[in-house]
Amino acid sequence: MTQRQLRPPPDLHALIREHGAYSKIPPAAWAEYDRAMEQWKDDLRNDRLLIDDTTQPTGASARGAAIESAENRNRKMDMTDYAGSSWLKLEDVREPRRAIITDCVKGNYERPDLIFESGDCVSLNKTSVRTLIKAYGADSREWTGKEVELYAGQVDFKDQKTDAVLVRPVSPPTSDGKLPPPKPKATNGGADYDDDVPI
């Protein structure tokens, strides 16, 4: 028996699998996905999504499909992979906020983009790049795991002051871009003796 059902929308999960991670999807792939999604929405509005389905399971295979569907409903999924990136804007940092850097990637307009644990992103201006280089070194891989503060400030742009999202270090800066080594633990059985105290 032939049944009519809706054609599914473009598969974001498949797009993520194809490129290895949400953050690695290139702009061209996003453009194609967005175009396909807009076409799907248009088809939905105009009742053009119904397709014939002659592969509906029956009998034992239908019970198996129902069990698999129930298992999928009970499976925990980390939905942050599907939430997308949130680009921080000036109004988002009127009150300074802290974030931990997870990645730094080449962005648009010859500017690097910082990606944070929260999934938020910010495109770095030259002022923030210089600040982070001074604090953590020129190798952006050394910035990973560092905590920074994002705040609203001003930069010079074409001989005028312009509002901008700025970044300043919170994790201790060092001249070589690395965190200072941890303090050594006491080797005297845990007692912390003070040599300046006379006995």
| pTM given for the model | 0.49
Q: Is residue 151 part of a domain?
A: yes
Q: Is 165 helix (H, G, I), strand (E, B) or coil?
A: strand
pLDDT of residue 157: 85
Q: How many domains does the chain have?
A: 2
pLDDT at 107: 86
Three-class DSSP labels, 39-78: HHHHHHHCCCCEEEECCCCCHHHHHHHHHHHHHHHHCCCC
Residue 80 resides in a domain: no
- Find the CATH number of the domain harbouring 111: 2.40.50
Helix count and strand count (H, E) for the chain = 5, 8
Q: What CA–CA distance (Å, rounded) separates 64 from 53?
A: 18
pLDDT at position 48 is 73
Separation of alpha carbons 161 and 153, rounded Å: 10
**95 and 32, same domain (yes or no):** no
pLDDT at position 42? 77
How many angstroms separate the Cα of 175 from the Cα of each of 71, 125, 134, 180?
53, 22, 7, 10
Q: So what's the pLDDT on residue 14?
A: 83
Cα 91 from Cα 152, distance rounded (Å): 8
* Residue-range definition of the domain harbouring residue 17: 3-74
Block mean pLDDT (10 aa), the chain, length 199: 66 83 85 84 73 54 52 64 76 94 89 90 93 93 93 91 94 62 52 50
- pLDDT score at 21: 83
Kindly report the number of other CB atoms within 10 A of residue 81's CB atom: 14
> Do the domain assignments include residue 89?
yes
